[in-house]
Structures are given as C-alpha cells and as structure tokens.
Amino acid sequence: MIFFFIGMPFVFVIGLSIGICSTMFSLILFLCYANNIPLTKPMHIGVEMFLQMSKFWFRLRRKPFRITKNMFEQSMSNLEIKNIKHDITKEKYPYVRILPTTKPTQQAQFWDDLLYKEKEKNFIAELKKPYKSSRISKLRAHMQFSEPMFTMVDNNTTINVEIIKNIACHWIEYQGASIDNGVILCSHGGGYVAGMPSMQYNLCSYLSKLTGCICLSVDYKLCPEGLITDCVNDVFDVYKYLIQEHMVKSKRIAIMGESAGGGLSLLLLQKIRDYNNNHENTNDDTDNKYLGNPGCCWVNSPWTDLSMETESCLKNNIGDAMLVNDPNKYFQRMAVGEIDINAKKRRSIKSMIQKGNYSQKSTDEMLKDPSHSPLYGEWNDLCPIYFMVGATEMLVDDTLKAAKKAYDCGVKIKVDIEPFMHHTWPLFLRTLPEAQYAVVRASDFIMEHLSIS
C-alpha cells in the first residue's frame, strides 16, 4: 500500500505528460495538414505554431489597432496625398485611387503589431548602436530566418533553379501555367544589401496560378559585394536571355518587384528603353539586337529615391510598421559605391580622386543619380506601370512622385493607395487577406497587358 501511494504521483505525472505530448502532437499534425505544411520541415511548423499562438494572444488581449486616428490623419495630410484628395474632378490625378478607409482585418491588425515589435527590437535598436560591419550579416540572417513565411507554397507549385548568365534564377510555376502565356520577371526586396528569391515564392505561386504565367525570380548580386548598377545589369541580362534564347516575346514579359526590388524594376525599365533607343534599327542575329519593351510592370512600395528625404519619410517614421530611416544612410551609400562594408571610402574612389580622374560627388548627388534612384531618371517611352503603396509607410512619396513623372511623360499609369497597409504587404499572402486582394488586382492588370485571355 505504501508503494502504491508513493508510486501513484509518479505514474500520474508520467500519464499527464504522455497525454499532453499526445495532444500537442495531434494538434501539430492537424495544423500541418490544414495548412499544407510537410512534417519534414520543422522550421515551417515552428513558424506556423508561433503565428497561431501569437494571433490567439493578440485577440485575447483585445489590443486596439496600432495606427491611431492621429497617426492616420498625419499620413493623409502629406502634401502629395492632399493634392490627390483635392483633385475632385480627377483632372490632374486620374490614375490614382485611394482605396476605402475601412478597418483592416483582424489578421492585418495582428500582423502590423507583430512587425512593429520586430522593427523596435531589431532595427531601431540597431540604429542606436555604433555602426559595425556585422549589421549587414544580421539583416541577412534575420531575413533568412523569416524565409519559412514565404516558402510555404501550394503543392501544385514547382520550383526549379537555373543558372542564367552566371546568375541563379528561380522558376516558380503553378500546375497548368505555361511560358506561352508569359513570364513575370521578379526582383526581390531587401534594401539592395539583403533578401533572396525565396522571399517571393508564395507571391509568385499565387501570381502564376492567377495569370497562367511562369514567374522567374532573379538572385541578383547584393551590395556591398556589388553596386546597384550590377543589380540592374544582372536582371537586364536575364531579360535579354528570355527574349534572345528562350524566344519569349517582350510583350509577353511582365516586370515585378517590391521595395528595393521595385526600384530595381523601374531602373530596369529605363535601361531597357535606353538600350532599345541605341539599337532601334539593329535586327541582326547578334546579341545586340533590339529587344522591345516588356508588356507591363507591377511594383509595390518601390524605393525610387535613395536619399529618403521626402515628406513621407519624415512624417511616417512611426506609422511605418517595417522601415527605419538611418540618418547616416550606410546601406544606400554602400549600394551606390561611396563606402565599403566598414563604412570607409572605397579604395577605388580614393585612388581615382588622387589621380584626378574622378570629380567627387556629394553623398546626396550620388544617391540621387539616375542610375541609382529611378525617380531622377527619364520616364518617357516606358511600358504600363501599376504602383501599390500604403498611405502610412515611409515610401508613399517615392511612389506618388515617380508615378506623376511617368504620367506626365505619357506612360500609362495606375496607382492604388491602401490607407492602412504596411510596406510590401502583398508579400504576406499566408497572413493577410488584404495581400490576396492586392495580388488579384495585380493579376488582372498583368493579364490585360499581356493579352492573356
């Protein structure tokens, strides 16, 4: 009897532990099956469980939406947005829509709250510290850690990596899609110093399903190992390859990118236009023959002005759930080749200055150079462009100023301003219903201009 009473608590604890573990395992199996997550991918399982538990806790606390009425009104008082709102007759801005100011979904409110906490914890805190070269590797590691958010794709999606012109390119194809419908050439974001094509897997899978096209995400050279001009050249080489060797007609190619990838996409359009102007009458069998403009371009939250001195960059620093504005502009200065990873003047520039072969430009001049910031480039003779941006994000002026320039040059332009959405929200398809709405609108635009029936 004594042994029974001594052993009973031990047996109870063991039984309870087994019961809890069995229940947890059953929940994991249920979660994986319901969300199409393979059991062979523990990181994906961990991310999904973390998100579900965070959503539960967010709803339990009944926390109000992070963007207050004052924050929203401040973002809408931006001069560019005010001009659009005052254009009641749509004479000056017929290409812009400010979408309804209905309250974001519960999922969007949760996600905005989570992103802002990550911004405070990782990015704002990092800017308060003295600069170290490890800031680049930390950002890359952070984005790599977030990868499972973007790689949980539908089972009907096939992903293959092909080396094109020494550049790794990721083909994302939904079952039933065909290159005959077209190719969507994609450039990922990451401030030119981080990011990877896998960030676009989920978005590309969805685009491929909705449009019937195949997506091709380019693993372009990052900075400071390369420069922005190298990034543009990489994507241009792939565009050229598609036309000259894959025999894809230029009008069957759509260009797509978000954030820095959006800026890169716009720089690509300008480079294609300039190349075509220089090879207009060249139709021989050489590599230098005329290419033609792509069918269209969709960019969301594009980074068009590396100086980050616009009104929205200053006003929306708190409203923006993701971006921070580094007063020292280290990443931008690395991307344009002014400084190296240690924030020192590049040796090549020092050498040219000493030899008198280089007319030294100021930081501002380098950041606003048309080869780095598409806002300051020429906007004539480009394909139709669809911009999406959130009203409370720092880069809203980057979109509105670029779209205005393009429209004034006769380019077919469409702009959607989402009142409460954060930077690059269409990427987050597994979390945001608003992201799905955005991608549906973008797919319609692409199908229209690639003449997909």
pLDDT at 356 over 60: no
CA distance 256 to 57: 35
- Using the predicted structure, report yes or no on whether residue 402 has a pLDDT greater than 70: yes
Which residue has better confidence, 211 or 87? 211
Cross-strand bridge partners of residue 214: 183
Check: CB of residue 108 under 8 Å from CB of residue 66.
no
54, with CB counted inside 10 A (0-12, 13-18, 19+), is: middle
Q: Is the pLDDT of residue 22 over 60?
A: yes
pLDDT (0 to 100) of residue 178: 95
Residue type, 330: Y
Contact 210, 439 (CB under 8 A): yes
Segment among 10-24, 133-147, 270-284, 287-301 with least mean pLDDT = 10-24
- C-beta neighbour count of 106 within 10 angstroms: 13
Sequence-distant (6+) residues with CB within 8 A of 218 are 167, 169, 170, 185, 186, 187, 197, 234, 235, 238
Phi-psi region of 54 (alpha: psi -120 to 50; beta: other; left: phi over 0): alpha
Q: How far is 216 from 256, CA to CA, in rounded Å?
A: 10
* pLDDT of 355 higher than 50: no
pLDDT at 352: 47
pLDDT (tens digit per residue) in 138-189: 999 999 988 888 888 888 999 999 999 999 999 999 999 999 999 999 999 9
CA distance 358 to 301: 34
Q: Ramachandran region of residue 364, left (φ > 0), alpha (ψ -120 to 50) or beta?
A: alpha
> Does residue 374 contact residue 270 with C-beta atoms inside 8 Å?
yes
Report d(CA 190, CA 142) in Å as an integer. 11
More confident site: 165 or 38? 165
Q: Look at residue 114 and give its three-state secondary structure.
A: helix
Torsion sign (Cα): 148, 151, 153, 157 = negative
Contact (Cβ atoms closer than 8 angstroms) between residue 75 and residue 418: no
Q: Using alpha carbons, list the distances in angstroms from residue 294 to 269, 427, 450.
A: 8, 23, 9
pLDDT, one tens digit per residue, over 299-335 is 999 999 999 999 999 989 888 999 999 999 999 999 9
Range of lowest pLDDT (83-87, 171-175, 392-396, 443-447) = 83-87
Tokens matching residue 1 = 């009897």
Mean pLDDT of the chain: 88
pLDDT at site 289: 81
Helix (H) or strand (E) holding 288: none
* Under 8 Å between Cβ of 308 and 398: no
Least confident stretch, 10-24, 208-222, 305-319: 10-24
State phi, psi for 158 to the nearest 5 degrees: -110, 135
User: Rounded CA gap, 155 and 32, in Å?
Assistant: 13
d(CA 204, CA 216): 8
Radius of gyration of the chain (CA): 24
With cut-offs at 50, 70 and 90, classify the pLDDT of residue 90.
confident
Angle at alpha carbon of residue 143, lines to 226 and 160, rounded to 5°:
75
pLDDT at 20 over 60: yes
